[in-house]
């Protein structure tokens, strides 16, 4: 199998390592194979691919869709990020818990996040090109979010020795408590 699927401490999350075929010319890898993902139990179909570019210190998130939750397969095409998923599933015993993975163009690893999680990442290198495969379409009117530094969640973001760069929207997201209440 060209992928190694490693379950993370929160059920449903997986770090994925594709098999890399390299030689003097460069490398080749499969980013996604429906056959292999389905064999690993990850059977939601992907319907949308996204890509973003961010500079060092950019923090995006924590985002989720309220009534159209998206599962995501994410990876860094260029650079390195600290990627975070927060469990917001209503009946989950790990609700409010987070897990983070360092994703880089060197390791070529991926992170699978099922529907029911808030997602965000911090760009750790000068330039990051980040890819997302999503299991549902993006609906701007359906977007929700949680403030990145909510003490109730307690994410340990890497210290870059600089202030993080956030959008105005992300700076003003609510804390986790109102999100789970309603």
In the chain, the domains with their CATH numbers are 12-17+43-174 (2.60.120.10)
> So which residues are the catalytic ones?
63, 132
Is the pTM here over 0.85, yes or no? yes
- Measured CA to CA, the distance from residue 110 to residue 27 in angstroms comes to 16
List the beta bridge partners of residue 49.
133
Lowest mean pLDDT among 26-35, 114-123, 160-169: 26-35
| Over residues 15-34, mean pLDDT | 94
* Angle subtended at Cα 140 by Cα 138 and Cα 144, rounded to the nearest 5 degrees: 95
- For 113-122, the pLDDT digits (tens) are 999 999 999 9
When computed from its CA atoms, the radius of gyration of the chain, rounded to whole angstroms, is 16
Three-state DSSP class for 21?
A: strand
């Amino acid at each position: 199998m060209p992928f190694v699927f490693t379950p993370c401490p929160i059920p449903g999350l997986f770090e994925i390592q594709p098999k890399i075929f390299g030689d003097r010319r460069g490398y080749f890898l499969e980013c996604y194979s429906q056959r292999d993902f389905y064999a690993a139990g990850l059977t939601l179909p992907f319907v949308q691919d996204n890509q973003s570019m961010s500079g060092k210190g950019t923090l995006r998130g924590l985002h989720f869709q309220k009534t159209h939750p998206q599962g995501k397969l994410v990876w860094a095409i260029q650079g390195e990020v600290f990627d975070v998923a927060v469990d917001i599933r209503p009946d989950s015993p790990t609700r409010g818990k987070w897990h983070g993975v360092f994703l880089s163009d060197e390791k070529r690893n991926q992170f699978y996040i099922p529907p029911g999680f808030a997602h965000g990442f911090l760009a750790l290198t000068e330039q990051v090109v980040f890819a997302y495969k999503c299991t549902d379409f993006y609906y701007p009117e359906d977007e929700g979010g949680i403030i990145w530094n909510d003490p109730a969640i307690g994410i340990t973001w890497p210290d870059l020795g600089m202030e993080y760069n956030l959008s105005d929207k992300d700076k003003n997201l609510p804390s986790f408590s109102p999100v789970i209440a309603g």
